[in-house]
Structure 1
Amino acid sequence: MQTFSLVDDQIPALEDGSLAALQDALDQAQELGDVGVVFYDLSSGKGVTYNADVEVYGASSYKALYVLYVCESLVETGQVSLDDSLGTYGGYNMGWQTVRDLIEAAVVNSDNDSFIALRAAFDRVGYEDWIAALGVEDEVALDPMSDFPTYCPRTSAKLWREMSEYLSCGSEASQWLSELLSSTSRSFIRDGIADEQVLVRNKAGWISEDGCYSTCDAGLIDIDGRTYVMSIMTSMPWSDQSSEAVAAIAKALYDVRSSLA
Structure 2
Amino acid sequence: MRRPRGAHRTTRTSAAVLLGVLVVTAAALVLLLSTPRALLPDDEKASDSAIAGTEVLDRSIAPERNDSAVTTTSESGVTVTADESFLETDAFLLVNEEIASLTQDGTELGVVLLDLETGRGLTYDADTWRYPASCIKAAYCTMLLEDEDTRGEVSRELIEECLVDSSNDAYDALFTVYGLTAFSSWLIEHGAPEAGANALDHQYPSISAQELAVVWQEIWRFGTSGEPGALELTDYLGRTNYSPLGDLLREDGPREVWSKAGWYPQDEYDISATNDAGVVFSASGPYVLVVMTTISADLDALTPLIGALDAAHTEMSP
What is the TM-score with the length of structure 2 in the denominator? 0.69
Please identify, of 154-163 and 32-41, the stretch whose mean Cα deviation from structure 2 is larger: 32-41
- 1:50 corresponds to which residue? 124
**Cα distance change of structure 1 residues 183 and 129 upon mapping to structure 2, 3 Å threshold:** same
Q: What letter is aligned with 2:125?
A: N
Residue 237, structure 1, aligned to residue 310, structure 2: no
Question: Partner residue of 1:80?
Answer: 150
Distance 2:159 2:218 in 1: 18
Taking the TM superposition and a 5 Å limit, the aligned residue runs for 1:16-55 are 16-30=89-103, 31=105, 33-55=107-129
Letter matched to residue 224 of structure 2? S
Greater strand share, 1 or 2? 1
**Partners of 2:191 and 2:211 within 8 A in 1:** no
- 1:195 match: 252
Secondary structure at the aligned position of 1:171 is classed as: coil
The 3-state SS of whatever aligns with 1:49 is: strand
Partner of 1:207: 264
User: Is contact 2:139-2:215 (8 Å) kept?
Assistant: yes
Alpha-carbon distance change, 162 to 219 in structure 1, aligned in 2, over 3 angstroms: same
Q: How far apart are 1:120 and its partner, in Å?
A: 2.3
**How far did residue 190 of structure 1 move?**
2.5
Partners of 1:32 and 1:237 within 8 A in 2: no
Unaligned runs of 5+ in 1: 85-97
How big is the alpha-carbon RMSD for the aligned residues of Structure 1 and Structure 2? 2.1
2:64 equivalent in structure 1: 7
The partner residue of 1:59 within 126, 129, 133 is: 133
The residue type paired with residue 100 of structure 2 is: D
Aligned residues: 236
- Structure 2, unmatched stretches of 5+, are 1-60, 71-81
* Whole-Å separation in 2 of the counterparts to 1:175 and 1:224: 21
Q: Normalised by the size of structure 1, how large is the TM-score?
A: 0.83
- Is the CA contact 2:191–2:214 (under 8 Å) kept in the aligned structure 1? no
Please report how far the alpha carbon of residue 250 of structure 1 lies from its aligned counterpart in structure 2 after TM superposition. Answer: 0.8
- Judge which range, 19-28 or 114-123, deviates more: 114-123
Larger Rg: 2
Task: Report the Cα offset of residue 54 of structure 1.
Answer: 2.0
The answer as to 2:203 corresponding to 1:147 is: yes
- How far, CA to CA, are the matches of 1:166 and 1:255 in structure 2? 26
